[in-house]
Amino acid sequence: MTHIPFKHSMVKGGSMAASSACPASPTRRGSCTLSYSNSSSAGSTESFPSDTSCGDSESVIDSSPDDLDYIPTDGGLATEVPPHTGKKTVLVTGAAGFIGSWVADTLLARGDDVVIVDEVNSYYDVRTKRSNVAMLLEKYGPNRVKFFEGDLCDAPFITRIFETEGVEWVVHMAARAGVRPSIEDPFVYVHSNVEATTRLLELSRLHGVKSFVFASSSSVYGGSQKEVFSEKDVVDFPVSPYAATKKSCELMAHTYSHLYGLNIAGLRFFTVYGPRGRPDMAPYKFIDLVARGQEIMQFGDGSTSRDYTYISDIVDGVVRSLDRPAGYQIYNLGNGSPVSLSSFIKLVEKSVGTPAKIRVCPEQPGDVPRTCADISKARAMLGYNPSVAFADGIDKTVGWYQNRAAMNAAAAAVADNADDVIAEEEPLTVELLSLCTTQAAAGRARSMSCASASALDMDFCDSILPKAMMSQQQQQQQQQQLSATAADGGVNLERASRTMSYAY
């Protein structure tokens, strides 16, 4: 386990940026597999695309600076970056969150090493975030994953990471999200989004970062009445503090690329959804409420629409942009097929198998009526090609949700059984769940990732991080002790593990 606490010693400094030259050619990347099952499609598997050929066969680009929107640096183009041959060490901020954890997972799956920086704030349940980090550590090991917890605006903290970890590639996914909360507290959004991004840009300049990718948002398009949003559109009129901070980040990134020759890609995400999704976002929230028979709030008449984009498509675009540094670029990453709110609710009802209880509410300040991405630039320059239709993506997400709910129920059953025979002060639920995630506990059952285990018992993620620092001998001794204790209590660990094992 490599979990670096907030405060640690400072060591040597880094180097300055390299000279200017043309960007590298695109290269091939690996793949990541997501398994899920639900009542309608058990055992299905989706793989993140591994082919990274650029664009459609009809797409032809003149590679002149004007056509590619390069930002000249002292008369030249962008900082030269060698092709991706072998592993990178990539700093991924926000990797405890939804998109960031999938980006880190995909980079690690293809062979890169990842340095995670996340403040693990309480915008939503921190145990969910910690479980994502625990899953990555369990899956890839502490030699390939390092986790630093702290504020990106803390200069000594983030500077030490750049100085000690040899960071040359940055994927900045950390941000304070949410349109409506930004109206209530704009200052925290300026701090978490604008200040943090500026701090990372400055350190990237000082340490010769080869490619810097950051999360922008489709919210920068504001209340545009255009049918389709293009990167060439004027976006000077945001309608929420959140959107204003994202536009500010784009401007600051442009400035750093112009002044210092940094390769920077700003990615305007269009309503991302899928497994590990944020619980405050409509896809997860509506699935959860409909499944539990609770009321959902529909803001407006249901005619508003969003360009929902499945997580694997988004991550594919993120990694492609990292591998194709090209001066300063802005890319739309969406699906190109908006779905109305009323249609969205109907699809959730169909996939869950339960009618929704709907309460119609007034439209909310700061919300935009429609989003739809023009993804032609990302197709041409990155080879980006979203492939998951919304109905299929909802089915996949519901399948993940149902597995998660089933594991919660299984965990509760294990805990209830164990509580009958174990002293109340012993953390049995946590430890039994930890035990069930290892092959040693149930040799005939599959090993289960920490992310799945966290779904069984959210307290698990609070224990797995310090547990990973135990020696192997200590863990074996603890497992033997717990196995004996569980056997005395009549808990069938093999059956529990077989029931709860789940490939995330």
Per-residue pLDDT of 200-252, as tens digits, reads 999 999 999 999 999 999 999 988 888 899 999 999 999 999 999 999 999 99
Residue 63 has pLDDT above 90, yes or no: no
Does any domain span residue 355? no
What per-residue confidence (pLDDT) applies to 407? 84
The mean of the pLDDT values for the chain is 75
Does any domain span residue 413? yes
What per-residue confidence (pLDDT) applies to 477? 52
Q: What is the mean pLDDT of residues 339-352?
A: 96
Tokens of 164: 């000690």
Give residue 463's identity as a one-letter amino acid code. S
332, 409: one domain: no
**Among 388, 422, 453, where does a domain finish?**
388
Cβ pair 467, 450 in contact under 8 A: no
Does any domain span residue 70? yes
Q: Provide the residue range defining the domain that includes 96.
A: 3-17+50-275+309-336+369-388
Cα(300)–Cα(342) distance, integer angstroms: 10
Positions annotated as catalytic residues are: 242
What per-residue confidence (pLDDT) applies to 124? 84
234, 186: one domain: yes
68, 110: one domain: yes
pTM given for the model: 0.69
70, 125: one domain: yes
Cα(425)–Cα(331) distance, integer angstroms: 53
268, 146: one domain: yes
325, 443: one domain: no
Listed residue (386, 384, 274) closest to 337, CA to CA: 386
User: Which residue reads 């030249």 in tokens?
Assistant: 76
Does any domain span residue 40? no
331, 479: one domain: no
Number of alpha carbons in the 13 Å side-chain half-sphere of residue 62: 5
165, 231: one domain: yes
381, 465: one domain: no
Cα(319)–Cα(404) distance, integer angstroms: 27
326, 458: one domain: no
Q: How many domains does the chain have?
A: 2
Does any domain span residue 22? no
